[in-house]
Structure formats: C-alpha cells, structure tokens
Chains A and B, each alone.
Chain A
Amino acid sequence: MATGAPAARANDRIAIGVLRHLRGAAAFFVYLRTMLAFFVVWAIIAWWTSNSVLLPSPLAVFAAIGQLAADLELFFHAGISFARMVGSLMIGALLAIPLGLAMGLSRTVGEVVDPTIEVLRPISGIAWIPLALFIFGIGNALPLFIMTYAGFFPILLGTIAGVRGVDRRLIDAARTMGIPQRTIVTRVVIPAALPSLMVALRLGVAASWTAVVAAELIGAPSGLGYAVEWYRELLATPQVMAFIAMIGVLGYLCDLGVRALARLFTPWASDARSAP
C-alpha cells in the first residue's frame, strides 16, 4: 500500500504527460494539414508559371533550406539578425521604459514630450535609412539604429498606457498604509504596470523584427536581410525564399519567447482572467 500509491501516482503522471504530448502532436498534424493546402496551391502555381526565378516550387525551396542549413549559412545569418534584434530591443527598452514611466507618472513630462513623439512615430524606420547611411555607414550600427527606432515606440506607448492604467485602488491602499510616494512608484505602480509592459515588449519585438530586413537589405554586410539581397542578385530565388521563411519562423519563435517571459514574470496576469 505504502509503496503502491506513489507508484500509481507516478504512473498517472506519466499517462498525463503522454496524453499532453499526444494532444500536442495532434495539434501539430492539424497545423500541417492546413499548411499542406498552402503548399499544394503553391506547387500548382509554380508548375503553371514554370519559371524558377519568379516562383520556385516548394520542393526547390525545401532543398535550398536543407542545403543552407547543412552549410550553417542559414543559422549564421539568423544568429546575427537575432543578436541585433536582442541588442536593439535592449537599447530600445532601456530608453523607452524610463521615458514611458516618467511620461505616465508626470502629466508635465507627458505634455512636454508627447508632441515630439507623435510627430516621429508615424515616420517608418525605413525612411531614416538614407540619412543613417550617411551617419553610420554600412555595418552593425545602422541596422541596430533602425531596429531600435522601430521597437522604441510600441514599448514607449505601452509603458505609458500601463502606468496610467494602474488600478487607482491599489495606489489608494498603499497610501492609506502611509507608504511614501517613491515606494509606491517602485512597489505598486511598476509591478502593477508590468503586465502591460510585457505586452508592449511583445509589440516592440514584432516591430523591430519587421524592420530587420529593410535595415540589413541596404545597410549591413551580414544578417538575414543581407542574405536575401545577396541571393536575389544571384537570381537564386529558392535561397531567397529560404531566408524569408527563416525570418518568419524566427519571428514566431521570438514572440513565443517573449510570451514565456511574460508568464514567468507576471504569472498573475496570464494565469487567471479574473483580477483580484
């Protein structure tokens, strides 16, 4: 009895684990089935056009992916772009979060800075590339700048909204305990704004990743955008599409990563829908 019960429980746990994997696998197959239709349509159109420069067949693209992966070229450029994205996101967050906190907390700061932000925000990062080429030349600095610029605004606006949206009652509760203003900011406002901040970070990652190709297409000697441009000049469309696919996959993985971070840092926000 004494040994039987834990063993049975362990078996249950394994069974639950297997079930979960099966359900995951089933979801994956449903996903594949949906994608299959996409690939079939693509294959038909490719066969119809029969011009491998305009539109190569899915098989040619898969072959290119396999070959580029085997050469590690795919991962080399992906790693560089990913590192640039992480770097630019860190710079962007370091600039945008403190500014957002200040703008959200102080009406005066908000009113002074807001007009500048609102004028700059609609200008796409791409519009700055010619000017940035003069200033930074070709190298790491240009894509870093463009990607930081792209990620900055979503993070800033999300931080401001998060700070302004903090439940008034939580601040009141802290005030009635006699807690000083500064401690309220660090111990109530910031943690309460953290879930919106994580959403802002997600949007920032998406924006800065979208800018990667444009920034590297012209301004960098390496990275996914550069590789796309390089193989375009060689008219190697399967390779071009392999890198484009990599951009999509890596962007999706980045989003999953930020969501995992959000679950880790703000378990109360993703765990339950009902706010206490």
Chain B
Amino acid sequence: MGTINGSIKLRLAHVGKRFDAAGRAATVAVDDFTLDVAQGEFLVIVGPSGCGKTTVLNMLAGLDRPSAGSVTLDGREITRPGPARGVMFQDYALFPWQNVRGNVGFGLKHGPAGAGLASDARARRVQDCIDLVGLNGAEDKYPHQLSGGMRQRVALARLMANEPEVLLMDEPLAALDAQTRLILQDELLRIWGQDRAQSSRRTVVFITHAIDEAVFLADRVAVMTTRPGRLKALIDVPLARPRNDATRASAEFQALSQHIWSLIRDEAYRATVT
C-alpha cells in the first residue's frame, strides 16, 4: 500500500491539529496524520467534506501550525508561508484590482520570487505563464470580467510564475462545471509536465472530493476519514502517463475509482445525515 519512489520532499509526521474555541470543547480537525510525499510526485488527498483536508494543506503551506507532530520540507520544519510552496485556493483568491498580467506578476513584483530579475525578464516570464495556461489575449482583463474557468487559469499562471518547488492545490476545480473541469484536469497535467521524468517535475499535493479526478491526476491517492481527520488508506495509481481520455475510459481507472469509493462511501453517507 502506497510505495514511495525517489527522495522525500514533504513529510507529515504524527500531525495533529486542534481548534480551541472559547467555552466549547476543542475540535480535533486532524489526528495522528503521517504521510510522506516524494519529489516530483502528484499526490491527491480525497475525503468527504469536513475531513480536515484543507487543514492538512494549510499546515503544508505554513498558514496553520500543527498542534502536534511535525511538518517538514526537505527535512526542515515548516513554520510559516514561503515562496517555495505555492498555493492555489479553491475560490481563486485573485486580486480584483489587478488585471490578468498584474495578478500573474504579483509575486514577481512584490515578493522574493522576482528578486534579481530585471523588469523585462519578469515581463517575459509573466507572458510565458499566461501563454502556458492559454490566456493570451486576456492579459488586460480584470477577474470580474473572466469566467470561472479563466479565473482558475489565472490562478494557475500566478502559481507557476513564482516557480515554487511544491504546488499545493485546495480543490482548485471544485467550483467549475463538469466539462470545464475535465478540460482543466488535462491542462493541469500538461502544465505540470507529465511527459517529463519524475525528477524534473514539481511535487504536487492536490485536494479534491471528486474520486475520478483524484484517480485521473494522482500517482498516489491518500484517503481521509472524518472527525477526526485521519489517513485511512494510501492507494497507488499505476495508470500510465501521459494520461488522456483513453485513461478515463479504461477498466483499470474504473476499478480504482470503485475501490476508493467503497472506502469512503460509509463516511460520505454519514456526512450527509449528521
């Protein structure tokens, strides 16, 4: 169950997270969570809503500190957010007062990612990232003028422009319609570089509640249970890359999806009635 290939990039060791609320019992969001993510691996965390997936991601991002255990990147403790770990938020979190170019270049202009870059080199990288996600022609548009799918592309370009070593994605496709979603899954794998060798890929931790999405994208799927959020199973996805529509149609894909669904069905059911 869940084999690690290559060196370990991210490590969550016996991580727990409690939220203390004044006058009420503390909520245990994550409990004794242990998981290693290899360099260049695409790891997907699935679980029913409210299982603490986002809390795990926030701790990896450094936006939240664990109450117990440790979270490390290349063996170093993660204590705060940093440009090495880029985050893509579920609700896009684009800056509404910046156009596409301004959003994509925001980290380069104001953050350490752009330090030492001349302004023309910066502009070129911004344009490359915009081209990469297929938004050329929309550079001067503002977020409120874009569709959901286009906003998500802007968020992806903004993430890539900072060239982080690790990509953390919190249900980035959840708000999109089914067709846009399939297209962006393909795009995501293309941009991630699924044709390249694992050593030259970026490490990805991707959160979703959609099982087919998890199987399509992942090298490994981590299945979580609810309240407290625990790791229930780690499942290898041995589907060949590059993946495409044929992958989605394959019997192996269906079988894996079924298997994961069987693992979380009871949990998901309970989540709908309590």
A269 to B146, CA, bound (A): 15
Whether B144 contacts A275 by the Cβ 8 Å rule is yes
B92 interfacial contact with A, CB 8 Å: yes
Whether A178 contacts B93 by the Cβ 8 Å rule is no
A179 contacts which chain B residues (CB < 8 A)? 107, 110-111
B7 interfacial contact with A, CB 8 Å: no
Nearest chain A CB to B97 CB, angstrom units: 5
Contact A183/B87 with A194-B97, A274-B144 known, Cβ cut-off 8 Å: no
B63 contacts which chain A residues (CB < 8 A)? 172, 175-176
A187 interfacial contact with B, CB 8 Å: yes
- The one of B89, B162, B168 in contact with A169, judged by C-beta atoms closer than 8 angstroms, is B89
Interface of A, secondary structure class, is helix
A267 interfacial contact with B, CB 8 Å: yes
Whether A167 contacts B93 by the Cβ 8 Å rule is yes
A178 contacts which chain B residues (CB < 8 A)? 81-83, 107, 111-113
Scan A169-182; emit 1 where CB is below 8 A from any B CB, else 0.
Answer: 11011111111000
Whether A175 contacts B81 by the Cβ 8 Å rule is yes
Whether B95 contacts A170 by the Cβ 8 Å rule is yes
A173 to B92, CA, bound (A): 9
B144 contacts which chain A residues (CB < 8 A)? 268, 271-272, 274-276
Whether B96 contacts A268 by the Cβ 8 Å rule is yes
A251 interfacial contact with B, CB 8 Å: no
Whether A176 contacts B145 by the Cβ 8 Å rule is no
Whether A268 contacts B143 by the Cβ 8 Å rule is yes
Contact A176/B81 with A267-B142, A276-B144 known, Cβ cut-off 8 Å: yes
A194 to B87, CA, bound (A): 25
Scan B79-93; emit 1 where CB is below 8 A from any A CB, else 0.
Answer: 011110111010111
Whether B97 contacts A266 by the Cβ 8 Å rule is yes
Nearest chain A CB to B132 CB, angstrom units: 18
B61 interfacial contact with A, CB 8 Å: yes
Whether B93 contacts A177 by the Cβ 8 Å rule is no
Whether A170 contacts B93 by the Cβ 8 Å rule is yes
B61 contacts which chain A residues (CB < 8 A)? 172, 176
A179 to B85, CA, bound (A): 13
A177 contacts which chain B residues (CB < 8 A)? 83, 86, 106-107, 110-111, 113, 162
B29 interfacial contact with A, CB 8 Å: no
A194 to B94, CA, bound (A): 16
B151 interfacial contact with A, CB 8 Å: yes
A176 to B80, CA, bound (A): 9
A170 to B61, CA, bound (A): 14
- The one of B91, B97, B145, B162 in contact with A272, judged by C-beta atoms closer than 8 angstroms, is B145
Scan B173-192; emit 1 where CB is below 8 A from any A CB, else 0.
Answer: 00000000000000000000
A172 contacts which chain B residues (CB < 8 A)? 61, 63, 81, 87, 89, 93
A177 to B87, CA, bound (A): 8
B151 contacts which chain A residues (CB < 8 A)? 276
Nearest chain B CB to A97 CB, angstrom units: 17
A275 to B145, CA, bound (A): 10
B143 contacts which chain A residues (CB < 8 A)? 268, 276
Complex: chain B residue closest to A184, CB-CB: B110
A188 interfacial contact with B, CB 8 Å: yes
A191 interfacial contact with B, CB 8 Å: yes
A269 contacts which chain B residues (CB < 8 A)? 96
Whether A169 contacts B93 by the Cβ 8 Å rule is yes
**Of listed A173, A177, A187, residue having the most chain B CB within 10 A:** A177
Known pairs A167-B93, A177-B110, A272-B145 / 8 extra A-B pairs, C-beta < 8 Å: A175-B80, A176-B85, A183-B111, A266-B97, A267-B142, A269-B96, A272-B144, A276-B94
A–B complex contacts, Cβ < 8 Å, 5 sampled: A187-B106, A268-B96, A272-B144, A276-B94, A276-B144
